[in-house]
Structure 1
Amino acid sequence: MALKVGRGALAPPFLVMDVIAAANARAQSLAPGEPGIIRMEVGQPGTGAPRGAAEAAIAALRAGAPMGYTEAFGLPSLRARIARHYAEKYGHAAAPAQVAVTVGASGAFPLAFLAAFDRGDEVAMAAPFYPPYANILVALGMVPKLLPADAGTNFQPTLAMLEAMDPPPAGLIIASPCNPAGTMLAPEDLAAIARWCDAKGVRLISDEIYHGLSWGRTAEATAAAFSPSAIVVNSFSKYFSMTGWRIGWLLLPQDLVRPVECLAQNMVISAPHIAQVAAEAAMDCVEECEANRARYARSRAALLAAMPGAGFNRMAPADGAFYLWADVGHLTNDSTEFCARMLAEAGIAATPGVDFDRARGARYVRFSYCGPEEDMAAAPGRLRRWLGR
């Protein structure tokens, strides 16, 4: 008799991870002297943790600190430092007790979803979207409700979309800046959505992991400043270049503090102690983080100037994050096959849009520009030669 496979095992794949594996395999197969692979498939900064973060971790290890479990919500000093960040950056008073340090933002989402929703609940999000939002919801027995967004809505949800939903969903996930399009909600639009959600009993989850990486068209704002019921997700992976340290946080509304704490105690016990030590130090490494940000800004500007000449002339505004969301419908109707050929023939790894929008993603490709600056500068030339431009 065949054994049962649980519902959670049926969650769709996160295709960018398959692209990473294919790019790794292609890189290993290159002959000596052959041009290397330009990695534009993954949102992983090409730099490591800030020097001050690494030095804090080294010092703690040399001091012989035991590095055991912390409290489920993390080191009190790190939670206090994160709370201070909200006051300094946004003018928002957040209590350290509302901060939950998590195993990356990826570890924050299941905690938030389990605390806020029940099986069968509908949770809305704009499409295109970050795939694990929907995939984690499906694994937990919840129902993603996709709101098709496009260039006309800046690839973001609108208040009109939400007001048209009858009945309202149990929750809404927003991201500003968003992955994959890199677009942002203006503060007044974020405020209107947050207040609507609070008034309608819709739990708002605001993914703010790309804060610190915006390019001046729209100001950054936190949903916590506009709604006492919103859940905010953030991470040290992007602005602080600490992807592999697996450290993030939740800023929780008061009614979910204890429920999330109980879940964290049982599911993860705590985030890694050494990563928390490094993360706290990273928050004061402003000069180095801003230098990284300046590098991304240069790469963004160079790509926006050069990519149209390579055939990629239909792109989202790229307000923030480090992605270009390119409409390639004039080049292909199969972005998966297109990206496979791009890797094999041009040596450039990028992510097919079907990972982010299953209905319309066959005509989109996401390019990440957080890799080495010289690689980003070389990419348009390779693409131009590949497409015969």
Structure 2
Amino acid sequence: MPSTAVTTGGRRGFFITFTVLLAVWAAVLLTIALTLIPDGYWYSYFVIDYRTGFIRRGLAGEILGLFGRQHYFGGLIVLRWVPTVVFALGLAAVAWSVAVRSGRSQRRGLLALLIPVLPFGFAFALFSARTDLLGGAALIGFALALTRVTTTRATVISSAIYGLVLAVLSLIHEASPFLFGLGSLAALTVLADRLDTKAFRASVVLALGPALLVAAALAAFGRRKVSPQLCHVVQHGMMNHPLAGKPTVGQLLSGFHYYVDYHDWFCRAFLPLFDMTFTEGVRFVASIGVIALAGSTVYGVVTLVISMLAIGHVSGVPVRRFVTILRARPLAMLIGAVMILPVFGTGVDWVRWWVIIAFDLGLVFLLYTRDQPEVDEPPARRTLIVFAVGAILLAVIPIGIIPGFGAPVPI
């Protein structure tokens, strides 16, 4: 009976071919991001500072202030790419950890090639370039640290460092602890399974406590309804915003440009959303409608399932084994799930929240596979075929970049 294993020469050719295709794909996406996608929306995360008092996301604007008023838009261009680059480097570090540092095998190499095309991979970093990507990068660093440390003391120290970083990032994007709480708890549960109950609780408090205190301070003391003051701090300047010109699909594909004043756009399209209270945010989400929210939920759950099954199939490690470990600390997982509910309640990007859940769990699952015996077994030919077809589909149809259904586009 012929073997289903792949020969060494066939394996090498497969990896070289797919690596080249992956590089071409990444270059095409980067070209699209640089030439066709306007950056104005991403700028909006960096223009609010503390000149009007203590306010959410104010630290991001203070960072922009370091560039000086004369380099306002140049600084925005630089800062727009910081979350994308940092998150992409984090994904590369995960790939390196899985495929190189923990040992070499065919399946490990496949996992490294899979990571960029996952729903939370390279396309997500490019086309969802919000500042919460910085929190994702911090979670990557924390999870990688947990794979390296070997003592309880080192784990607690790592948790404390991560907690301080996440607290600072919460001043840039206030939802950071809620978006990545599930991932933090999953990482401590799976990657630091040596911890006893006391050490686990201490690590959880140190990892999430500081950021939650920052979020509480923003809720209690952060200024609200300051749109007029915030509007005055934003500079005037022309911004390419093709959608405002109501172009046809053909015009968009041909590189259609339409310029608007950034100050006017920001004050009209972004500030009303930023100025919402918690109650107004809940009402805004409800106004999207049950059908759109249900569609986003189904789409998001499918995205999560595809991510986990793809990792499980390529690595050979059953998803159910990973889930069993998570269920060993049911209260922690429940807390992580509950933490993200306020984000769903006040933000309309429901698909985006599901993609981040897929990232939270998928990151930990990827690092968990490093030490499982299946990942060192050679893949069957069928595994390579399924991988190639699935990876190409995920690359051509980047399902993770859709934020949600029914939400109004800020024009």
> TM-score w.r.t. structure 2 length?
0.30
- The structure with the greater share of residues assigned to strand is 1
Greater gyration radius: 2
